[in-house]
Amino acid sequence: MDLSQAQFERAINLIYDTLDDRSAWRGVFECLHEAVGGRAVHMLAFDAVHGALSYSDGAAMTPQIDLEYIQKYQFIDPRVALIRTQWTEEWLHCHEHFDEAFVSTNPFYQEYLLPHGARYLSLCKLVDNKEATVMLAFLRRPGEGPMPPEALAFLDRLRPHLQRAARMGLAQFVYSAQALVGHALVDKLRQPVMLLTTGGEVVLANEAARSLLGSTSLVQVADKRLVLPQAYRRAFLEQCAELEHQARAADGAGAETGKAFRVLHMSSEAGAAPDVLYGFFTLLVPERTLGSFGLRPLVMLFFYHPTSAQEIDSDLLTAAFGLSHAECRVASLLADGMPLKSIAEALGVQYDTVRKQLMSIYQKTATNRQPELVRLLMNLPASAVQRALKADGGPLQGITA
């Protein structure tokens, strides 16, 4: 920690820089992280008019973790109800509401928060009005304990300045179609990802996806539309339309489409060697993603090309089998030969939690034993697609030709 007067004055200067430059908030987060330490600093905002997650940034944050929360764990986060009733002049410390007995059995903590190295949350609201709610949160690791009193005193001195800057720059935190949280997260992923309308219009292609366009003839973008070989394009668009129909039939909020990925397996014999490309896609429904990808349904399409780096990629495991980020970590550690008890110790969770996660991994990947799982992981992508397609009731539904 660095709670010096020099660090305090540095933070003040950075805070007021944000009035002229929205990107200056990143410097604020880094400065606060250096000052108080911990696992991460996170600022997030919700637009009150659109009911959408309109801002999310911080220090030591990971885009894959944020996406996993938006798509799954927000629904079981026990802290949400507390945050909704929190007053702007008070700190919320979650350990005062959720003791170790609760944490040891709660799925949100055991499956999501603890595996990501976080246990303690201290949060304050900087703005809470009819336009938006802006919150600043500090996460700490299990071994670090709650926020120390001297660190809280440092933050309390800064809070009036943070609140003033947030109010004066409120336009930075409300909903904007040009600054969507989900788009920013996708842009940071290593895995090639595109966001599309259900009619095939490309809304976003991240850097990895744009690079992929030069490595394969099986996918291209022309006039802002996804171009696939004719043998696959029609079936892909039909499944996209089906996903949207299912979402509308369930009125969005109750739709289950966001949990299941479908597979697109394409190949071509053209050229000196056959070209192969794997795609995994799902529908992002605004009501189930906090509106963070916009106010209309979008298709999120992951790609895996054999020219990609041959490593165990958590993005691919999530796309192919529906593994959570915590399950990806367990699978990767198992592949490295680490026993379950050691994995539990390394991740700071209960042994029974890791054992249950392994059972879930086996079920999702249609494997039964560790050697079989390891062979699957080390032979992606072909084995992953073939096994998933063969598994009855598996998370993937395929397009093949």
Q: Residue 393's pLDDT is what?
A: 40
163 close to 270: Cβ distance less than 8 angstroms:
no
CA separation for the pair 155, 165 (Å, rounded)? 15
3-state class of 298 per DSSP?
A: strand
Alpha helical stretches, state H, 322-381: 325-335, 340-347, 351-365, 370-378
pLDDT tens for the 401 residues of the chain, in order: 899 999 999 999 999 999 989 889 999 999 999 999 999 999 999 999 998 999 999 998 888 788 888 888 899 999 999 998 888 788 999 999 999 999 999 999 988 898 888 999 999 999 999 999 999 999 999 989 999 999 999 999 999 999 999 999 999 999 988 889 999 999 988 788 999 999 999 999 999 899 888 888 889 999 999 999 888 999 999 999 988 888 877 664 444 444 467 888 888 765 556 778 888 888 998 988 989 999 889 999 988 776 654 456 666 677 667 788 788 888 878 876 677 887 887 777 888 888 888 998 888 888 888 777 877 776 554 333 334 334 434 444 444 44
Whether cis (ω within 30° of 0) applies to the bond prior to 148 is: no
pLDDT at residue 333, as a whole number: 80
Kind and range of the H or E run holding 122: strand 120-128
DSSP conformation class of 74: G
Query: pTM, whole model, 2 decimals?
Result: 0.75
How far is residue 344 from each of residues 75, 102, 282, 314, 340, measured CA to CA in Å? 25, 18, 31, 19, 6
DSSP helix/strand/coil, 102:
helix
Contact assessment for residue 111 and residue 76, using Cβ atoms and an 8 Å cutoff = no
207 HSE (CA, 13 A, CB side): 6
Alpha helices in 18-106 (DSSP H): 25-36, 63-71, 80-84, 100-103
Alpha carbon distance 309, 152 (integer Å) = 44
- The Cα 32–Cα 165 span in angstroms is 15
List, in order of start, the domains of the chain with CATH numbers: 5-172 (3.30.450.80), 181-399 (3.30.450.20)
pLDDT in the model for residue 100: 94
Contacts of 11 (CB under 8 A, 6+ apart): 28, 31, 32, 35, 158, 161
Q: Which residues make Cβ contacts (< 8 Å) with residue 340, sequence separation at least 6?
A: 351, 354, 355, 358
Rounded to 10 deg, the angle between the 370-378 and 351-365 helix axes is 60
**Tokens for 356?**
């249950």
Q: Is the CB of residue 190 less than 8 Å from the CB of residue 206?
A: no
Distance from C-alpha of 84 to C-alpha of 135, rounded to nearest angstrom: 11
* pLDDT at residue 308, rounded to an integer: 56
pLDDT at 382: 38
